[in-house]
Structure 1
């Protein structure tokens, strides 16, 4: 178990070596590891090999392992006995495409530290935040521990993939094949963000996802509205009536059984969230809105991150070209997504939605459904000991209480860690809302990178101080 003096020395080492940490990050950022474009498959392989060499230089046994797509890295440092905690750290080295290139202020794979408009120092490059900068905070924390003490304070496995930006489609099978080699007590994920630039956060829940498409058909061809209008079923009218009934006037979703199993927040967490500066002024005004549109008996922050939702993502049907064409279309379709919370089963929600639509179909209409995506929600036990230890460590580093917060988004691989490896995930990241991930001019605050390294150094010490469960 590390002592206070060791941790202080590690933190001093991080500060003294920060310029070198930054250059190591820049070397990774220069690699064009765009997973979505086959033209960059060689660059993805180069990024994996680069990371494996770097991590191996810290004394890990590091291997580049093939998948059905881009390779993964598995690196181990297991110098402690079975009574010491073992963590599995996950990140991804692949990045989004850079389009539209003409909106970048400088070449996206030539990283630079520059000034933000508000005076902050920022790292600008594709992957600076998502996820190369984030994963390197953990690698650099391990480097500092190794440099100062010769070892890590606990057992660590690092697992990095190259297909997160395209849905981790080959990573689930990889986990299944290698699960015996990935045994640990819990997973650490650094692919999330801070509450604000001064307040650290631990993401304790991720909403699940159901994405469905419905296609309603009526006549066997498009019809002339002057001949058949008023007598023939119009699929657009049928579809919009059904979709319009998915919510009541209070913002509640009306599908029978939709809220079965949905739990309320613990009272202390709800009180903590209520005290945060999450208002229409701070959240909606920047996007040109002013009034929350979710369940009106819930805090707006609950609407955004901890309550289930239903959204219509697209409607198609009839004539949508220039000018006019007086038709009653033969079919109309819509794409609908549901964000789910703990207690909701994706298959059950999908079936309930389809039953809702089918029940409201009038005569002469049929419905077809297309399954697009699904993943369960993830929620941590609020009382788990690693969560408490990480919260204390983050609070000590940032000087502000770390917020335990949910995320409205979905990260399907976290569900795979639970399903395949049986492991809960602690999601701790240092990104900010204005980091432009997936957009031109992606950035990562220099302070986020520096204090992110220091945060992980503290967290590893905190985990090591607790006996293995």
Structure 2
């Protein structure tokens, strides 16, 4: 039996319009995992995907229950036990989207404009995970077989930090057994500069509450002798950083793995100028630790950010009070070797140590995620580079991602397999934003690259 990647790639090109229409059907399902009101739609998306995969000839396709939203599993093992097995991970859930957010067209009624698909989930992650489904289909419809075995693990809770995925993996290690995991849920700067992400940051997310009086106080009666909790919170937050913009929490950097010269050279290939950064973000100037480049700061260094602040009166008109409480949410993006729980304890201890005696403070951990760093010289990673060269038409760079996909570390630690993050999106696709979109050319190039990657893995 001859298995031809060329025939599979040619097939994918002839079926491009159909593939897009099928993706449209997937995108029409508002699978918002964070809103209980949409739970039936989340399940409907899982069932749609499972039915689609079953129709392509995959075996043991199941919508598998978790303590939350279900997981979709399917496999094609026709290559035999002497061939490698790749596990494809993705997520079918999406974040909320409303017309009032600034969408030009309804977010769950996908439309094509100027070669781009506009819909929530188009790039994150329905479009990118669908690439792998179509790549396998292209092999099955042409050669009747793929060069290696393929398993799919598609979850429905990634956008709410995957609370039930690790227990699912732990309970199904035999079912999920594979030689390599591939994830397409990231992006590149331009279509001609493909990137393979070999590092992701972890996460420690916490909430602070500063309290003072038992109730809101009249500022005329009690102001001047009462330490305002809102002011105390600001004073605490103002001490999180040193004047040089490094994080002031004692021990925060102790476990950070230093960048090698090779890694810094690789990161430099995708560096941002100050002008590019300002144009992309709209900020008047760049901020941060100037001993690192902009790209290093946003991908390879840990952070501590204030994500929300609330206290007192914010309604119309005046209300002269001293609020009883003030709160903030903080997130810390972590890099290799930093332990999320250790970082939480360090931040908590530091905040408690700098809290004035005139108020009380409570620090609560909300969620964590492990960072991941994968050697880009591994055979599976180099196979991905060759796949981009042949299927995409450009040599990729290995880059560090600034975001977090907690399951990456879970695959590495629980399954002891390399994870290859082959992103097929663009940095300006607008994921999580109004008018999220996905380039049809990126979709097609991604399918062809995924086809070639299966062939490259077979040759290892």
When normalised by structure 1's length, the TM-score is 0.90
Q: Which moved more, 1:333-342 or 1:219-228?
A: 219-228
Summarize the alignment of residues 292-371 of structure 1 with structure 2, pairs less than 5 Å apart.
Answer: 292-371=286-365
Q: Is 1:434 the counterpart of 2:434 in the alignment? A: no
Q: 1:151 to 1:330 in 2, by over 3 A?
A: same
Which deviates more, 103-112 or 179-188?
A: 103-112
For structure 2, the residue ranges without an aligned partner over 5 or more in a row are none
Classify the secondary structure of the residue corresponding to 1:76: strand
Query: Paired residue for 1:417, among 411, 421, 433?
Result: 411
Question: Structure 1 residue 405: deviation in Å?
Answer: 1.2
Partner of residue 445, structure 2: 451
Tell whether the 8 Å contact from 2:271 to 2:294 is kept in structure 1 after alignment: no
Shift of 1:81: 4.1
Displacement after TM superposition at 1:325 (Å): 4.5
CA distance in 2, matches of 1:316, 1:38: 25
Measured in 2, the distance between the counterparts of 1:214 and 1:108 equals 34
CA, structure 1 residues 44+317, in 2 after alignment: closer, same or farther (shift >3 Å)?
closer
- Closer/same/farther in 2, CA of residues 441 and 331 from structure 1, 3 Å limit: closer
Is 1:288 equivalent to 2:297 in the alignment? no
The two structures, once aligned, show a CA RMSD in angstroms of 2.4
| Displacement after TM superposition at 1:409 (Å) | 1.2
- Contact residue 79 and residue 145 of structure 2 kept, 8 A: no
Match in the other structure for 1:252 = 246
CA contact (8 A) 1:86 1:156 kept: yes
Equivalences for 1:116-195 in 2 at 5 Å? 121-195=115-189
Once structures 1 and 2 are overlaid, which stretch shifts more, 30-39 or 251-260?
30-39
In the other structure, the counterpart of 2:57 is 59
Secondary structure, counterpart of 2:441 in structure 1: helix
Output the CA distance in 2 between the equivalents of 1:23 and 1:430: 19
State the alpha-carbon separation in 1 of the partners of residues 108 and 180 from structure 2.
Answer: 34
Q: Which moved more, 1:299-308 or 1:172-181?
A: 172-181
Mapped pair 1:11 → 2:16: no
CA separation of 1:252/1:40 partners in 2, compared to 1, >3 Å: closer, same or farther? closer
Match of residue 19 from structure 2: 21
Number of residue pairs matched by the alignment: 459
Cα shift at 1:223: 4.3
Match of 2:94 in 1: 95
Contact 1:207 1:339 in 2 (8 A): yes
Question: 1:310, CA displacement in angstroms?
Answer: 0.8
Partners of 2:271 and 2:364 in 1: CA distance: 40
Deviates more, 1:305-314 or 1:40-49: 40-49
The Cα shift of 1:277 comes to 4.8
Equivalent residue, structure 1, for 2:373: 379
Partners in 1 of 2:271 and 2:355 — Cα distance? 44
| Alpha-carbon distance, 1:263 to partner | 1.7
User: For the Cα contact (< 8 Å) 1:273–1:301, is it kept in 2?
Assistant: yes
Check the 8 A contact 1:157/1:182 in 2, yes or no: yes
- Partner deviation per Cα, 1:122-170 (whole Å, 9 max, x = no partner): 1223322222211111111111111222211111111112232333233
Aligned partners of 1:182 and 1:209: how far apart in 2? 25
Q: Give 1:225 deviation, angstroms.
A: 4.5
Question: 1:73 — aligned with what?
Answer: 72
- Aligned partner of 2:41 in structure 1 is 43
